[in-house]
Amino acid sequence: MQTRLAAALGTVVLTAGTLLGVPAAGAQTSAYPTTAYARVAVGNTWTQGTITWYNRSVAVVGTHKSVSAAGPAYCRRTWAYTYDSAGAKLGSAGSYASDTACGTTKDFSSFDVLADVPGGAASVRVCLDDGNLQDLLCSPPYRRP
């Protein structure tokens, strides 16, 4: 009797453990959407890359180019701004100082721009900045896919 009870209890425990470890049907995770942003160019300098749309932020990554290292005004960085559906600015952030291109073409590390509202950013503008963090030219707004 005790052997049958132990075997039955063991079967119940194993079945429950197996069922709890299996994800529910349709509960698979999906990748966050990305948008390629077109080249934002001023003369022979530019930035281009991708935007990844998260729930309360976006990530921007890509490449920027500078043709001269004659000083900060000739260096290039990338900056981005997030907006809600009414067009109000939510956040801004830019590539890291270590990613600044001065007389070269340089990949920049992914940086996050806050969009701390339900659903996240409705749109993003990407700007080519000089080494003094002055916006030189910004893209039209990219809408969330």
Q: Tell me what percent of the residues of the chain surpass a pLDDT of 90.
A: 79
* Closest-CA residue to 39 (of 130, 113, 140): 140
Establish if 39 belongs to a structural domain. Answer: yes
**Can you give the residue range of the structural domain that contains 128?**
34-143
* 75 belongs to a structural domain: yes
Answer yes or no: is 126 within a domain. yes
pLDDT band at 113 (very low <50, low <70, confident <90, very high): very high
- Residue 6 domain-assigned (yes or no): no
Number of domains in the chain: 1
The pLDDT > 70 percentage for the chain reads: 79
Give the CATH number of the domain where residue 130 resides. 2.60.40
Asked if residue 10 is part of any domain, the answer here is no
Condensed to tens digits (0 to 9), the pLDDT of residues 40-81 reads 999 999 999 999 999 999 999 999 999 999 999 999 999 999
